[in-house]
Chain A
Amino acid sequence: MAGWTGRMLRVDLSAGTVRVEELCPHDLRDFVGARGLGSKLLYDAGAYAVDPLAPENPLIFATGPLTGTYAPSAGRYNVVCRSPLTGAIAASNSGGYWGPELKFAGFDLIFITGKAPSPVYLWVHDGGAEIRPADGIWGKTVSETEDTVRAQTHPDAKVACIGPAGERLVRIACVVNDKSRAAGRSGVGAVMGSKNLKAIAVRGTQGVRVADREGFRAARQRAMQKILTHPVTSGGLPTYGTAVLVNVINAHGAFPTRNFQTGVFPEADRISGETLAREYLVRKKACFACSMACGRPTAIPSGPFKGSGEGPEYEAAWALGADCGVWDLAAVTAANWQCNEMGIDPISYGATLACAMELFQRGYLTREQAGRELRWGDGQLLVEGVRMTAYREGIGNLLAEGSYRLASEFGHPELSMTTKKQEYPAYEPRAVQGIGLTYATSNRGACHVRGYTISAEVLGVPEKLDPLVPDNKAFWAKAFQDATALVDSSGLCLFVTFAIGVPEIADLLAAATGEGYTAESALLAGERIWNLERMFNLKAGFTRADDTLAPRLLSEPMPEGPAKGQVSRLDLMLPEYYRLRGWDEEGRPTDETLARLGLKW
Chain B
Amino acid sequence: MARKMLVVHPEKCTACRLCELACTFHQEGEFHPLKARLTVGIFPEENVYVPIVCEQCEVAACQEACPSGAIWRNAVTGALEVDVSRCVGCRMCVMACPFGTMVHVESGGKMQKCDLCQGDPQCVAVCPWGALEYAEPNEAALARRREVARRLAEVLRGVKV
Contact = CB atoms under 8 A, between A and B. Distances in A.
A456 interface: no
Contacts of B44: 178-180, 297
Given A179-B44, A207-B24, A283-B47, A68 B18 contact: no
B92 to A, nearest CB: 23
Given A69-B21, A291-B16, A282 B31 contact: no
Interface string A284-300: 11111111010101000
A329 interface: no
B29 A213 contact: yes
Contact of A70 (B25, B34, B35, B45): B25
A228 interface: yes
Contacts of A285: 14-15, 47, 49
Contact of A69 (B29, B31, B129): B31
Interface in B1-60: 11, 14-18, 21-22, 24-25, 28-35, 44-45, 47, 49
B128 interface: yes
A10 interface: no
B124 to A, nearest CB: 14
B35 A207 contact: yes
A209 B49 CA distance: 27
A97 B17 CA distance: 10
B21 to A, nearest CB: 4
B16 A207 contact: no
A289 B29 CA distance: 17
Nearest to A68: B31
Contacts of B126: 70
Given A217-B25, A228-B128, A282-B47, A208 B18 contact: no
A308 B129 CA distance: 24
A44 to B, nearest CB: 30
Contacts of A148: none
A289 B32 contact: no
Interface string A199-224: 00000111111100100010000000
A104 interface: yes
Nearest to A216: B25
Contacts of B11: 283
A291 B21 contact: no
A69 B33 CA distance: 10
A207 B47 contact: no
Given A69-B21, A213-B25, A208 B31 contact: yes
Contacts of B45: 308
B16 A206 contact: no
A307 to B, nearest CB: 12
B32 A293 contact: no
Interface in B113-148: 126, 128-129
Contacts of B30: 207-210
B123 to A, nearest CB: 11
Interface centre among B11, B24, B29, B31 (most CB of A within 10 A): B31
Nearest to A209: B30
Interface string B49-80: 10000000000000000000000000000000
B33 A70 contact: no
Chain A interface, DSSP helix/strand/loop, else mixed:
loop
A185 to B, nearest CB: 23
Nearest to B21: A70
Given A70-B18, A70-B22, A282-B47, A207 B31 contact: yes
Interface in A357-412: none
A217 B30 CA distance: 11
B44 to A, nearest CB: 6
Interface string A263-289: 000000000000000000011111111
Nearest to A206: B32
Given A69-B21, A179-B44, A207-B35, A284 B14 contact: yes
Nearest to B16: A286
A119 B20 CA distance: 36
Contacts of B15: 285-286
A70 B122 CA distance: 12
Interface in A393-435: none
A287 B16 CA distance: 6
A217 B11 CA distance: 28
Interface in A227-266: 228
A329 B3 CA distance: 49
B21 A289 contact: yes
Given A70-B126, A213-B25, A283-B47, A290 B16 contact: yes
A201 to B, nearest CB: 16
A217 B47 CA distance: 31
Contact of A293 (B16, B33, B47): B16
B24 A291 contact: no
A213 B25 CA distance: 8
Nearest to A2: B30
Interface centre among B17, B24, B45 (most CB of A within 10 A): B17
A297 B48 CA distance: 11
A56 to B, nearest CB: 36
Contacts of A287: 16
A124 to B, nearest CB: 16
Nearest to A234: B128
A354 B149 CA distance: 50
A97 B16 CA distance: 9
Contacts of A180: 44
A180 to B, nearest CB: 8
Contacts of B33: 104
Contacts of A288: 16-17
A289 B28 contact: no
Given A69-B21, A70-B21, A293-B16, A208 B32 contact: yes
Nearest to B32: A207
B17 A104 contact: no
Nearest to A146: B44
12 contacts: A69-B31, A179-B44, A207-B24, A209-B30, A210-B31, A282-B47, A283-B14, A285-B14, A289-B16, A289-B21, A291-B18, A297-B44
Given A207-B28, A291-B128, A293-B128, 6 more contacts: A70-B31, A207-B24, A209-B31, A213-B25, A217-B25, A288-B16
Closest 4 A-B residue pairs measured CB to CB?
Answer: A207-B32, A286-B16, A207-B30, A291-B128
